Amino acid sequence: MPTRIRLQRKGKKGQPYYHIVVADQRAPRDGKYIERIGAYDPNQNPAFVEIDREKALGWMQKGAQPTDTCRAILSYTGLVYKNHLQGGVAKGAFTQEEADRRFDIWLNEKNTKIEAKRTNLSSGADQANKARLDAEKKKAAEMAAKLSAKLAAAAYVPPAPVEEAAPEAPAEEAAPEAEAPAAE
């Protein structure tokens, strides 16, 4: 009976959650399975992967073939590499201690990368929130300035225009004109 390590879909529409199972390859996707070995949630960032390493490694050594997606998940968790190292131990290329040492080095580097991604995502989210708040404060200040200018313009009443009469000639100028015709 050929076995596959594959995903079994769970969860609501649009929010999938998967169980990683070992099943007969002729069984339906969400049907009967031999053993559940883990879980995978792609809705989180980084994706949540929980897997029983010993069971998965045992099934891989027995010949269970992972699907493409499960191979990527198992590679992400390091099980494909560990299976490769176990093959080297079986062939006598190196000892079990050397294989464990190599796997531990790889696992530490992988955990460092995952933590760096988590911190970058959280700091990026904090910076985005700060930038958004600064933009909102700037826009609110601009709107407040426009509103205060508008209210000041509406409250301003210009002084009433004073009607000016035609300017009268000063008395001194009028007098010499009157004297001129009399002098003749």
Full pLDDT tens readout for the chain, 184 residues? 689 999 999 999 999 999 999 999 898 888 899 999 999 999 988 889 999 999 999 999 999 999 999 999 999 999 999 999 988 999 988 899 999 999 999 999 998 998 888 888 878 778 888 888 889 999 999 998 988 888 888 777 667 777 766 666 565 555 555 555 555 5
Last residue of a domain, one of 19, 47, 78: 78
Residue 168 within any structural domain of the chain: no
What pLDDT, on the 0 to 100 scale, is given for residue 178? 53
The residue with tokens 């959280």 is 122
CB count within 10 Å of CB 52 equals 15
What pLDDT, on the 0 to 100 scale, is given for residue 69? 93
Asked if residue 109 and residue 55 are part of one domain, the reply reads: no
Domain that holds residue 42: 3-78
Asked if residue 63 and residue 21 are part of one domain, the reply reads: yes
- Best CA proximity match to 60, nearest among 40, 42, 37, 30: 37
Q: What is the CATH number of the domain that holds 53?
A: 3.30.1320.10
Residue 7 three-state SS: strand
What pLDDT, on the 0 to 100 scale, is given for residue 57? 92
Residue 176 within any structural domain of the chain: no
Asked if residue 62 and residue 11 are part of one domain, the reply reads: yes
Asked if residue 106 and residue 57 are part of one domain, the reply reads: no
Residues 6+ apart with CB under 8 A from 65: 2, 3, 4, 5
Asked if residue 48 and residue 8 are part of one domain, the reply reads: yes
Last residue of a domain, one of 52, 78, 104: 78
Residue 182 within any structural domain of the chain: no
Residue 109 within any structural domain of the chain: yes
Asked if residue 100 and residue 59 are part of one domain, the reply reads: no
Q: What are phi and psi of 182, to 5 degrees?
A: -70, -25
Q: Which two tokens stand for residue 84?
A: 């490769």
* Bridging pattern class, strands 65-66 and 3-12: parallel
What pLDDT, on the 0 to 100 scale, is given for residue 183? 52
Does the pTM surpass 0.75? The reply is no
Asked if residue 116 and residue 74 are part of one domain, the reply reads: no
Say how many domains are in the chain: 2
What pLDDT, on the 0 to 100 scale, is given for residue 148? 86
What pLDDT, on the 0 to 100 scale, is given for residue 180? 55
What pLDDT, on the 0 to 100 scale, is given for residue 161? 75
